Amino acid sequence: MSQVSTSSNKSALLDRKIEETGAGLQKSFTELLRSVDEENATTIVQYISTMKSEVNLSDHYRRDLIELLSKFSKYNNDRPFKDSIRADIITFLETYRKTETQDPMHKWIGTYNIYQIHLLRFLKWLHYSNIEPSKRPKPSVIENIPQLKRKEKSIYKPSDLWTQQDDLLFLKYCPSKLDRCYHAISRDSSCRPHEIVKLKIKDIAFKTTG
């Protein structure tokens, strides 16, 4: 009876931590984390908690980590992360490879590379969590798994971008002041969407002439 109670308490504690980890995100991310084996789910929760203090984790980064690590766990049948071998990482990353017909602009390489970076940082923490982040060595399990180079300098073509006339037309007829403000800031600053959303008035320095 005592063992059953202890197990129940651990599950309840993990469930509460999962809720905290996914707080503010879409419910699907919390459910994804709940679908992972308890041992690996606990590891993901601990890692994200650590990352919050090490790099001031953004919501965008948190979503990426929950999605990536949950998929990586399930891909390897929820085997404990510390038991992962090099082949597990290679075959997982290869699932994102696409043919020339499927992806002629090779956008999949961007996904492959960002996931390789996330896995590298995660495995450094997993194997050397007691070492200062900047000094953690690369674990042998992810040695010689480099990022891929792309042939294209950009995935966008000139025709994909709005011209100045397109911008003026949008600003003239868009009924929402908020949308017009967002568009103008994104056009002038080249910031990413999540960077603009997090902006506060005090963060903006207006340039003056004369």
Task: List per-residue pLDDT tens for the chain, 210 residues long.
Answer: 445 455 566 688 888 999 999 999 999 999 999 999 999 999 999 999 999 888 888 899 999 999 999 999 999 999 999 999 999 999 999 999 999 899 888 889 989 999 999 999 999 999 999 999 989 999 999 988 988 887 766 666 677 778 888 888 888 888 888 888 888 888 877 777 878 877 777 777 766 665
Whether residue 117 sits in one domain with residue 199: no
Residue for token pair 């005090």: 202
The whole domain housing 195 covers 162-203
Structure tokens at 19: 């809720």
Q: Tell me how far apart the alpha carbons of residues 210 and 205 are, in angstroms, rounded to a whole number.
A: 16
Q: Is the dihedral of CA 54, 60, 62, 64 positive or negative?
A: negative
Residues with Cβ within 8 Å of residue 127, at least 6 apart in sequence? 82, 136, 139, 141
Q: Based on the structure, what is the number of domains in the chain?
A: 2
Whether residue 127 sits in one domain with residue 180: no
pLDDT of residue 191: 79
pLDDT of residue 210: 53
Q: Tell me how far apart the alpha carbons of residues 113 and 43 are, in angstroms, rounded to a whole number.
A: 23
pLDDT of residue 8: 64
pLDDT of residue 1: 44
Residue 151 lies in a domain: no
Q: Residue 93 half-sphere exposure, CB side, CA atoms within 13 Å?
A: 22
Residue type, 129: S
Q: Tell me how far apart the alpha carbons of residues 125 and 139 are, in angstroms, rounded to a whole number.
A: 10
Q: Tell me how far apart the alpha carbons of residues 32 and 148 are, in angstroms, rounded to a whole number.
A: 28
User: Which pTM value belongs to this model?
Assistant: 0.71
Whether residue 179 sits in one domain with residue 82: no
Whether residue 87 sits in one domain with residue 32: yes
Residue 156 lies in a domain: no
Residue 153 lies in a domain: no
Whether residue 106 sits in one domain with residue 64: yes
Whether residue 41 sits in one domain with residue 124: yes
Residue 36 lies in a domain: yes
- Let me know how long the chain is: 210
